[in-house]
A and B are shown apart, each in its own frame.
Chain A
Amino acid sequence: MTEQLHQVTLTVNGVTRRGAVPARRLLADFLRRDLALTGTHLGCEHGVCGACTVLLDGVPVRSCLLFAVSADGHEVTTVEGCCQTSGDLGPVQQAFLECHGLQCGFCTPGFITTITAYLEENPKPTEEEAREAIGGNLCRCTGYQNIVAAVLRAAELKREREAPHA
């Protein structure tokens, strides 16, 4: 029984990446194993916890519920791609740092990607909206309060960074 391999070409964090994968290889495993992008974590492998969330063409998806072959030809953003091009922390990551929005850090990549996409949609959320926006991701450490604060702070940082210089 030799598994048939399929060629896939994805743009991951702005870089074209190619691979040959069995049809059943999950996108999460492709990112983690084939591309060595281990920032994407698997918490439940059944689509509930959200730790594996990546952006597919800018939209949050569970990379544990998607085959790598299904992502062929698409753009994927992982937590590594949420950093600035300088390598410094992006606004959402910086906000998590400032607000103590993480403890063990395992679920964090899924929050970072989810919130990054959300702020594109809603650049100025209320606290209630912020809490709702993260309502699809599980965290076992923080109780979410500081993550809610981080969403609000990230929105602020993003506005500051994107404001045209006077």
Chain B
Amino acid sequence: MPDKHVGQPLLRKEDPRLLAGQGRYLDDLGRDALAAAFVRSPVAHARITDIDVTDALDVEGLVAIYTYEDLPDRIAEPLPLLIPHPDLTHARTPHCLANGEVNHVGEAVVMVVATDRYLAEDAAERIRVAYRDLPPVVGVSQARAGDRLVHEDVPGNIAARSVQENGQGDAHSAIAAAPHKLTLDLEIERSASMPMEGKGVLAHWDADDRTLRVHSSTQTSTSVRLAVAAKLGLPPDRVEVVTPDVGGGFGVKIVHPWPEEILVPWAAMTLGRDVKWVEDRREHFISSAHERGQQQRIEVGFDDAGRLHGLSVEIWHDNGAYVPYGIIVPIVTSTQLLGPYKVGAYRVEFTSLYTNTVIVTPYRGAGRPQGVFAMERTMDAIAEYLGLDRLAVREANLIQPDEMPYDQGLVFQDGRPLIYDSGDYPTMMRMIRDLVGWDGFEAEREAAAGQGRRIGIGVAAYVEGTGMGPYEGAHVKVETTGEIVVSTGLTTQGQGHYTTLAQIAADVLGVAVADVTVITGDTRRFKYAVGTFASRAIVTSGNAVAVAAAKVAEKAKRIAAAALGDGIAPEDLELGDGVVRRKDDPGSFIDLQTVAVLSNPLRYAFDEAAKAATQFAAAANTGDEPGLEATGFYMPERSTFAAGAHGVVVETDPETADIKILRYCVVHDCGVVVNPRIVEGQVHGGVAQGVGGALYERIVYDDAGQLVNASYMDFLIPFSTEVPHIETAHMVTASGVNPLGLKGAGEAGVIPTSAAVASAVEDAERGRGATEQGLAIRRMPISPSELYELRKGRVHA
């Protein structure tokens, strides 16, 4: 057993079960439950004039049909606005079932419950809904025009308008006074989280006990619990929410309560039967959340060295039909846009706009990929304008290590000041320079050109606020079997928490990781949590586990000291190798398991071990509460800031404009690493999604608001043949914000990918000599057809 488990690339404890087909995902549960299916709007914007269910009534196995009219008071009200903000002046949230109007294709209109899913869908397709079309608003440009309205009482389709300045003077004056100025108009298209498992809900109502148990494929079981209790008018104490194995989240499952998370439990209570709904893939495309879609205008003023004097950014953010998750995404874009740079006077203004499309809520990266795209395109444009090296321009603007902690002068998404806790960006940039072979690239380019090939190199850097509050907690218990059980309220969707949280607990308690069992996302086991999103789980829950485990360790020492007698004090003892032992005499020890037995003074000896704790035995009386267990919480004062830089080499086909990634390099700093194997995996997965977002994935709506590529056949998630081999290098600047020095790693890989690929493609298309201009990439993703079109616009001398 290594001295410390934290830092070791241990194999994952959860894997044998998942690999053997013994995972328990939502649809693996509730085999005998009734099945729900939904009639969803086929049009983007319309009034509902009639719902006729007559034909559906003949379907054998039909149990119930519900429309908006059937919903009782609180369930009939709009769903909550989860994250209010003073700038969100015109918040509109959806109803569980459409209340007379639909605002996007896929909005739920009718709920059908039947004895199985096939029959529920039979009934659903027999229900006739009549619509009177309203003009749809599709895309940012149409929303900005404001001549068509999504919500008739929201002028200009504007949900929110927000301005932040960094306190370093007026940005427009600084830009005007700078030696050089540039303006860039940029656009990022829609994409989506697309976990392989969609959403799903199973509800069980115990009428005798008046308790509701809900299973949901969610990223936050504790908050679903409170939301369900509030909507159904139940005391929270009567509602438990359990998150089973979850087949990926990537942000979409942090939104809650989804209409189905209210309707399915309500139907179960109403019918007195278990009810289950499992989202199919088309439903996921047209009714779960999307992200990314933005237009941006950037004005920048800079000097001869490429140093920024002022930066002004305007963002038009497509928030879809409703804003149940508030304006977190554009807040993140506008604050994290700054990356590792000092930009002089900064002003950012965003306008969050309604469109008749699926709601927009955080998808891995959560607004950062757009912000990094803006900043890094700007860096490249400055370098191009001045004829300077692109890395040199970036290096001229970096925040230096001795300036840490660095206050960016803005308010972050957690409402706290945007203060970078630590980081060494110059080293990070040197590392990516070396890893990707920046300095030797011109020779490679020449050699490739000699063979008639076009290759290019690009780089992009980011800073990511991670590990935000308000808090996470954990309960740690040493069972009388010797097993350690760690329960935390946050959920897990593949991040390896069963392993990493066990590593942290094992180190504090001096036991083997194999002896630690981790439980997540089950409100029966731990009721207080926020959720797994924003690269926060290991930071917040990891530190909470350490706090709780330390309390257990102290208690174990007190009990062991009393049991060992002989004048030994708790501070004379230490935990290690599964025992509590004397520091000065390791041969004198007591098993942690025995301490657990002694921690619970007994009257009755129900087994052999229990005898030691009975009242006529020499039990260790320390005055502690029974049980070798403790609860601990960690409440960060503010976020931690991870960082990284990506370098990429691409080849563009001179004829077909096909874009191929030849090399993909990552330098990554997430502070102290709990499990390097898992962090590496997170980076790989993020980059793959980034590559998708850069070259393949886009959600395509036509002018009528139909989502025309709502299948995996047409929405191009990369297969293994599209994702390059990823080369990684890690650096560690420990966070000073939390005791373990952790920063989050979950989202990192996806953040700068579009920016880095754009940089590399533009470089590959660089003009050759005086006869050919380069071209400017201002919009991502980029397909071969789009590159081909860009080439056609290139002016040849």
Contact = CB atoms under 8 A, between A and B. Distances in A.
A160 interface: no
A140 B723 contact: no
Contacts of B725: 145
Interface in B698-725: 711-713, 717, 719-721, 723, 725
Contacts of B58: 1
Interface in A1-41: 1-3, 22, 24-25, 32-33, 36-41
Nearest to A34: B31
Contacts of A32: 27-28
Contacts of B686: 143
B12 A104 contact: no
B748 interface: no
A138 B717 contact: yes
A142 B688 contact: yes
A108 B721 contact: no
B247 A136 contact: no
A97 B11 contact: yes
Give the dominant DSSP class at B's interface. loop
Contacts of B685: 103, 140-143
A147 B196 contact: no
B413 interface: no
Contacts of A22: 118
A80 B281 CA distance: 24
A43 B21 contact: no
Contact of A102 (B19, B194, B680): B19
B84 interface: no
Interface string B679-691: 0111011111100
Given A38-B28, A46-B711, A112 B19 contact: yes
B15 interface: yes
Contacts of A82: 21
A112 to B, nearest CB: 7
B20 A104 contact: no
A43 B196 contact: yes
A96 interface: yes
Interface in A110-156: 112, 131-132, 134-148
Contacts of B494: 102-105, 141
A54 B494 CA distance: 23
A109 B28 contact: no
Interface residues of A, number: 60
A78 interface: yes
Contact of B196 (A100, A104, A136): A104
A66 to B, nearest CB: 16
B280 interface: yes
B449 interface: no
Contacts of A68: none
B19 A41 contact: no
A57 interface: no
A139 B196 contact: yes
A67 interface: no
B15 A145 contact: no
A106 B193 CA distance: 15
Contacts of A45: 280-281
A65 interface: no
Contacts of A78: 21
A21 to B, nearest CB: 11
Contact of A96 (B15, B21, B59, B246): B15
Contacts of B687: 143
A49 B245 CA distance: 19
A136 B329 CA distance: 33
B196 A49 contact: yes
A136 B28 contact: no
Contacts of B15: 96-97, 102, 105
A52 B748 CA distance: 30
Interface in B1-47: 11-12, 14-16, 18-25, 27-28, 31
B688 A144 contact: yes
Given A45-B280, A140-B250, A143-B685, A108 B118 contact: no
A141 B58 CA distance: 43
Given A102-B18, A140-B685, 5 more contacts: A1-B60, A2-B60, A104-B247, A141-B685, A143-B723
The 3 closest A-B pairs by CB, nearest first: A39-B21, A106-B247, A104-B494
6 contacts: A38-B27, A44-B711, A80-B21, A141-B685, A142-B681, A143-B687
